[in-house]
Amino acid sequence: MKANGYVLTTLLLSGFLSAGTYAAESTTDGVATRFSGGTSETPDFQRHVVPLLGKMGCNGRACHGSFQGRGGFRLSLFGYDFKSDHEELTGRVDPETPAESLALQKPLMQIPHEGGQRLKENSWQHRVLLNWIKGDSPGQSNDAAKLTSLEVTPAEIQFSEDGQEVQLQAVAVWSDGTREVVTELCRFQSNDDQVADITDSGLVAAGTSGDTHVVVNYDNAVVPVPVLRPVSDQTGDKYPATPTPTEVDKLVVSKLRKLGMVQSDLCTDEEFLRRVSLDVTGALPTPQEISDFVTDTNSDKRAKKIDELLERPGYTAWWTTKLCDFTGNSDAQLNNVTPIRAAASEQWYDWIHARVEQNVPYDDIVEGLVMAESRDPGESYEDYCTNMSRLYHKDSDYSQADRQSLPHYWARRNFQQMEDRVIGFSYTFLGLRIQCAQCHKHPFDQWTQDDFKGFQGFFTGVVGRNNNARPDSRKDYTAMLAKFETGNLKGNQLRRELGKMLQKGETVPFGEVYTTPPPKLVVQERNGKKRKVRKGGGRTATSARLLGEEEIDLTQYEDVREPLMAWLRSPTNPMFSKAFVNRVWASYFNAGIVNPPDDLNLANPPSNAPLLQYLADGFIAHDFDMKWLHREILNSRTYQLSWKPNDTNRLDERNFSRAVPRRLPAEIAWDMVSQAVSNDEKYARFTSSNDGRAVAIPGAGTRYRNDRTGAAYALTIFGRSIRESNCDCDRSEEPSLLQTIFLRNDGQVLDMLDSRDGWLAQVAKENGVAFNAKSPSQSDRAAKAKAEQLRRTYANRVKAQQQAINKLKKQDGDEAKIARLEATLAKQKQKWRKFLRPADAEGPAASKQANENQSIDVAKAVTDAYLRTLSRPPTDDEAATAAEFITDAKDPLEGLRGVMWALLNTKEFIVNH
């Protein structure tokens, strides 16, 4: 890889290169030393002037770096647009009388300055700017040396007590071999100032125990420095003996040993089985599975269970859903792609599902997206339309999964603009939030606006579907369309009409995603001058630059995406494998090794860089085998730790010293509720089939048009990914009050408890007792409410008449009249008796008789309830409490219903631990 300077810095920090890559050269003192006296040196614009402006905050967002500038003076935000900044700055200098330049008088407050005083007269900062103006304000030449690395020492800081301080030193190494101390020109920040505070001069002070990074910024370099302060005295040789059976464990414990953070014990078999079943397949283990696993005495039973779970359909469905999240499979963004609404999201899901099921390497799946075209190789337009039409014909066994690639990736409505493509692609496959570089230098990363624009060239060669064929087949498209009476229909109207034809079994014309080759650059002579001009190629770029690499001549490729895909899967690419590995890790723990998982910027370094590097390298070495990655993580002792903390790791949520209980993803949460209340047959089906499961819903949108599970509302409140931006933040796993209310009171959950094919009904049947649903259907509830209203109406009438009779009696009224009124009231009570009794009342005698005649095996029912919800048997106290509740209830099923409801509403049920 031809790395530019900053990628080289990244590789150095990541362990790709040794610190001795560069030959030792003499290092020049910093400008603070050189310009404190009377030097006549002219500072360099890129090396000294622009970093100084950044250090003083001049090009910040709140000052001259804002888009509108301040006071008629605008600098590029965070610098690095040297040409523009030079033009702006030289407009405020006076070469004749440098000291009277506006660029100096304003920050010196010799002239009123809204930003306040930024310079002190005769300071080294003042002399740097003054000497630059005296030297004729030189700008940046095209052949100027580039920053190749920023060496920061110490490379790691370990504090042990309050009051300790460490001074950082930064040395810039340039491509011309020069080295210079630039500490005073760097900008510093702490990612957690409670653990480590840092001054503007780079002095790091110890804070509370824990770990964080301080970040050094200079030019386009961003260098994080780890800072650790142990949480206990159990560090180094004092660290207790800890098993490290896998390389993952060794790397995790290596960091914990520095922190004095001791791992929790292993989780129990029940905890492991529940955790891994939900994580891998999104389903609870069956009670029989739990019993078999706990009684199994084989030492490798956990590894075998992991292998078994990775072969279940739930694994395929869940990781297909995850990949659909990452890649943007959204109903709302695909409604212009296929003639039949929601079909595109199903096709997208089917295509990925088939490949996850076959364990196709991750890079090959990505290639099917990145290099996608509508036609398979060698397919004519007529054949293409015939095959695509088959996707919609009744009883056809043809599927999008049978096609080589997935062009829907390029056809989305939110993936048509080149800027949107760069941003979405970077989120999905590189774990980068690069959108900042669209307009200015990224504040937390190396990327500049030039990097963004250069990368954009790879996305210019793809044309979306838009109901049109490739240029060489448009006559065929028109001819096929002419066979149908579509008139002048266009857009959505035409799409709907073609959809009707497809449902009748017709073959209709389809639009295409296709690529246009880059233009040819030909030399033309005009007015005696020769120049290169574009010939053909439409909007396709002639050159592009991979992030952190040299420019590529795209005219050498038929498809400009070829070098992009080759770079993704290259072993020297530091981002592609890390982005996926980090997301997989985050799905099994409370956080990614880099967190948030889709923000791999240099100022947000991994909590354990060697661990991330090991998994990324192994993923590449194993040919991007996703199941290898899952096994490597799941078989580690680190994954199998208990959630119960000790005194050293109680606050740890980023170093993986214990399991952190976490809210389950929306689809799994809903499937788990559905599974827990089902009868045994349906319960077991969740572990062997995806039919009716929320994890198998293809698309995403506010209405889930193709959802046949009735889960739409639940998925919304539990935070299913809306797939709007490819950002991981499109999914929410934060707990909320609405989720609690839903589980406690929503009619859908209560109806599921009392379903005729639910577990309560099964218990009733097995014990030969009547099953009376406590929670009626919605229509039943409406009827009950109406009956209750009538009961109150008639009860009020009876009450009023009785009060009138009582009044007459008190007044010694006409006895004959009172007798007539009492007789009339008696007849009315008899007539209204069905309205006067509560809808669910059976009378004291009936209730007593029912309770005496109904009985269930309480101990077994309580144990089963715990196993099917919490995946463990109850403790003695829990069993006694539950049994007492059932015994004291109106009838045993009502008591058991209450126990199940309570278990569904425990924190232990709704989190994975």
- Tens digits of per-residue pLDDT, 679-692? 999 999 999 999 98
Q: Where are the domains of the chain?
A: 5-226, 239-332+350-359+574-623+625-713, 360-568
pLDDT of residue 841: 46
- Comparing CA positions, the residue from 161, 124, 149 lying closest to residue 41 is 124
- Comparing CA positions, the residue from 95, 52, 96, 94 lying closest to residue 75 is 52
CATH of domain 5-226: 2.60.40.1080
Alpha-carbon gap, residue 362 to 847, rounded angstroms: 62
DSSP 805-834: HHHHHHTT--HHHHHHHHHHHHHHHHHTHH
Q: What is the mean pLDDT of residues 511-519?
A: 90
Whether residue 354 has pLDDT greater than 60: yes
Could you report the per-residue pLDDT of 62-83, keeping only the tens digit for each? 787 676 777 778 777 777 777 8
pLDDT of residue 466: 63
Q: Please give the share of the chain, as a percent, with pLDDT higher than 70.
A: 89
* Six-digit token string for 71: 């006071």
Residues 139/45, Cβ–Cβ less than 8 Å: yes
pLDDT of residue 89: 85
3-state secondary structure of 712: helix
Alpha-carbon gap, residue 562 to 373, rounded angstroms: 13
Question: Which one has a higher pLDDT value, 484 or 689?
Answer: 689
Alpha-carbon gap, residue 859 to 875, rounded angstroms: 12
pLDDT band of 784, cuts 50, 70, 90? low
Q: Phi, psi at residue 710, to the nearest 5°?
A: 75, 20
pLDDT of residue 783: 58
For 25-29, 344-348, 579-583, 760-764, which range has the lowest pLDDT when averaged over its residues?
25-29
For 23-37, 140-154, 407-421, 626-640, which range has the lowest pLDDT when averaged over its residues?
23-37
Whether residue 115 has pLDDT greater than 90: no
Residues 694/719, Cβ–Cβ less than 8 Å: no
Alpha-carbon gap, residue 535 to 742, rounded angstroms: 62
Residues 775/751, Cβ–Cβ less than 8 Å: yes
Average pLDDT, the chain: 87
* AA letter at 89: L
DSSP character for 467? T
- Pairing label, strands 157-158, 221-229: parallel
Question: Which one has a higher pLDDT value, 696 or 795?
Answer: 696
Q: What is the mean pLDDT of residues 422-434?
A: 91
Beta bridge partners of 514: 463
Alpha-carbon gap, residue 902 to 248, rounded angstroms: 39
Q: pTM (2 decimals)?
A: 0.85
Q: What is the mean pLDDT of residues 578-598?
A: 95
Q: If you count DSSP H runs as helices and E runs as strands, how many of each does the chain have, helices first?
A: 38, 19
Alpha-carbon gap, residue 223 to 313, rounded angstroms: 44
Could you report the per-residue pLDDT of 867-893, keeping only the tens digit for each? 999 999 999 999 999 999 999 988 899
Could you report the per-residue pLDDT of 828-855, keeping only the tens digit for each? 777 766 666 554 444 444 444 444 556 8
Q: Phi, psi at residue 151, to the nearest 5°?
A: -95, 115
Name residue, tokens 């269930």: 856
C-alpha pair distances (Å), 419 with each of 242, 415, 434, 449, 452: 49, 9, 10, 12, 9
